[in-house]
Amino acid sequence: MGSAAPRSASVLLLLLLLLLLRAEQPRGAELTFELPDNAKQCFHEEVEQGVKFSLDYQVITGGHYDVDCYVEDPQGNTIYRETKKQYDSFTYRAEVKGVYQFCFSNEFSTFSHKTVYFDFQVGDEPPILPDMGNRVTALTQMESACVTIHEALKTVIDSQTHYRLREAQDRARAEDLNSRVSYWSIGETIALFVVSFSQVLLLKSFFTEKRPISRAVHS
Amino acid sequence: MAGVGLGPLRAMGRQALLLLALCATGARGLYFHIGETEKRCFIEEIPDETMVIGNYRTQMWDKQKEVFLPSTPGLGMHVEVKDPDGKVVLSRQYGSEGRFTFTSHTPGDHQICLHSNSTRMALFAGGKLRVHLDIQVGEHANNYPEIAAKDKLTELQLRARQLLDQVEQIQKEQDYQRYREERFRLTSESTNQRVLWWSIAQTVILILTGIWQMRHLKSFFEAKKLV
């Protein structure tokens, strides 16, 4: 009974610590968004000093499957800039604490709107229970086996994601090809008919004009 | 823990909940800017029976102070989620801060669209809104401290639970992959068939048109007594 008060105090302290640590808590964002033609879209995130962040992006559908991308630090310096890239990966250790922004631009394209996927990871993955971060003893064999399996499964999920994105890209191209085959075939058939009829008409017109003259000559 | 009475435990729990609530509202990572009636759409390609949790927080631009206000009541965001067949799964108006959840029942591209339909922005001018967004899919949407508390799991059991959830997600993704590959194969075979039949049809039409042209012109010239 007597241990209740200091225990509740320690829990409160732990939670307060959690609240403070929240500012530094590692985060990750994985989004797929639509980028209309002639548009630019920017995303911002606050990063602490010394924390490593990584940006992976890939264009899934649209046009020539390329996009411009640049990353700026809080002072406005461009730390990464690429034009017309299909996919890329960029890691950087933040030297300055502040809001970093990364933008995707489709301003070079006039009529194709694109779908872009990006994965922005800041810092390391947080532990599933807050306690796990403040261990004093070493991990037991079971726990380190769990950690190994977890890391391996994360790799599997990552490669599944990349495979899914490439497959989505291929499927979009295949469906585009399928519809284009239909339209072009119908268009070509119509063109064929138009050309053959106009050929015959044109040929007939060469010989039809001379008729009144030849009749006058014959009579 | 067995020796502690229920009273102090309940008080502790309430305080813990309050602090956790404070933690939850403070932390949002990524943000972007959105115009007044602008609509932003995000696509999530997910297998079926996958839960998606989205959290957002909005801040309005104050033109006089040239700063984003910390929180503005009265702002509303309309969240619309469509499934791969175009059917609307979720279409709700939330406040300036909200949390939406949905579970997919068909695998494929789900579209999550957000737009602000608040008229207050027009009064304050500037018309810019900062939206903090966080979308968690599948296994990432699980709240492990909550699961540990609910099922009373030890740390090791919780780790095992996390591994089980990850494996389940991998299995679902693989099933989805099989479904996608089948769609892809159908599309390719359809293209193959179309190319084949249209080529044959066009060749036949070409030959028939050629024959018609010759016969028509022959009869035309014979009528003209040129042949």
pLDDT tens digits, residue range A166-212? 898 898 889 889 999 999 999 999 999 999 999 999 988 888 765 55
A129, A165, A184: best mutation site toward chain B, by most B Cβ within 10 Å? Answer: A129
Selecting from A11, A22, A129 the residue whose C-beta is nearest the C-beta of B26 gives A22
Q: Which fold has domain B29-141?
A: Jelly Rolls (2.60.120)
Please give the pLDDT value at position B116: 81
Contact criterion met (CB < 8 Å) for B169 and A163: no
pLDDT > 70: percent of chain B: 79
Check: CB of residue B182 under 8 Å from CB of residue A168: no
Contact criterion met (CB < 8 Å) for A203 and B217: yes
Please give the pLDDT value at position B7: 58
Please give the pLDDT value at position A80: 92
Given a cut of 60, is residue B41 above it in pLDDT? Answer: yes
Distance from CA of A96 to the nearest CA of B (A): 17
Chain B residues 164-193 with CB within 8 Å of chain A: 166-167, 169-170, 173-174, 176-177, 180-181, 183-184, 187-188, 190-191
So what's the ipTM on this one? 0.73
Nearest chain A residue (CA) to B214: A200
Q: Of B153, B48, B157, B168, which Cα lies nearest the Cα of A153?
A: B168
Give the mean pLDDT of A56-64. 88
- H or E, element range at A72: strand A67-72
CB distance from B22 to chain A under 8 Å?
Answer: yes
Contact criterion met (CB < 8 Å) for A171 and B183: yes
For residue A163, the chain B residues in CB contact (below 8 A) are 177
d(CA B176, CA A133): 35
Contact criterion met (CB < 8 Å) for A164 and B16: no
Contact criterion met (CB < 8 Å) for B177 and A163: yes
Nearest chain A residue (CA) to B112: A33
Round the CA-based radius of gyration of chain A to a whole number and report it. Answer: 32
d(CA B137, CA B173): 12
Given a cut of 90, is residue A12 above it in pLDDT? Answer: no
Q: How confident is the prediction for chain B on average, in pLDDT? A: 82
Contact criterion met (CB < 8 Å) for A164 and B166: no
Please give the pLDDT value at position B5: 52
A7, A14, A32, A177: best mutation site toward chain B, by most B Cβ within 10 Å? Answer: A32
Nearest chain B residue (CA) to A7: B12
Given a cut of 70, is residue B58 above it in pLDDT? Answer: yes
Confidence of residue B3 (pLDDT cuts 50, 70, 90): very low
Please give the pLDDT value at position B87: 92
Selecting from A42, A115, A128 the residue whose C-beta is nearest the C-beta of B43 gives A115
Given a cut of 90, is residue A132 above it in pLDDT? Answer: no
- Per-residue b/e over B186-208, b at no fewer than 16 CB within 10 Å? ebbeebeebeeebeeeeeeeeee
For residue A149, the chain B residues in CB contact (below 8 A) are 163
Please give the pLDDT value at position A3: 53
The domain segmentation of chain A, as residue ranges, is: 27-124, 126-208
Please give the pLDDT value at position B143: 84
Burial (CB count within 10 angstroms: exposed 0-12, middle 13-18, buried 19+), residue B21: exposed
Give the mean pLDDT of B56-66. 77
CATH ID of A27-124, from 3.20.20.70, 1.10.3720.10, 3.30.300.20, 2.60.120.380 = 2.60.120.380
Q: Alpha helices, DSSP H only, in chain B?
A: 6-26, 120-124, 144-151, 155-223
CB distance from B20 to chain A under 8 Å?
Answer: yes
Nearest chain B residue (CA) to A215: B224
A185, A213, A218: best mutation site toward chain B, by most B Cβ within 10 Å? Answer: A185
CB atoms within 10 A of CB B5: 9
Contact criterion met (CB < 8 Å) for B194 and A192: no
Give the mean pLDDT of A60-76. 89
Chain B residues 52-111 with CB within 8 Å of chain A: none
What share of residues in chain A are helix, strand, coil (percent, to 5)?
45, 30, 25
Distance from CA of A157 to the nearest CA of B (A): 6
Q: CA A81, A83, A85: angle at the middle one, nearest 5?
A: 110
For residue A1, the chain B residues in CB contact (below 8 A) are 3-5
Please state the pTM of the whole predicted model: 0.74
Distance from CA of B46 to the nearest CA of A (A): 10
Q: How many residues does the structure list for chain B? A: 227
Please give the pLDDT value at position B223: 87
Given a cut of 60, is residue B165 above it in pLDDT? Answer: yes
How many interface pairs between A and B have CB atoms less than 8 angstroms apart? 184
Please give the pLDDT value at position A21: 43
CA distances from A217 to A210, B223, B227 (A): 11, 18, 20
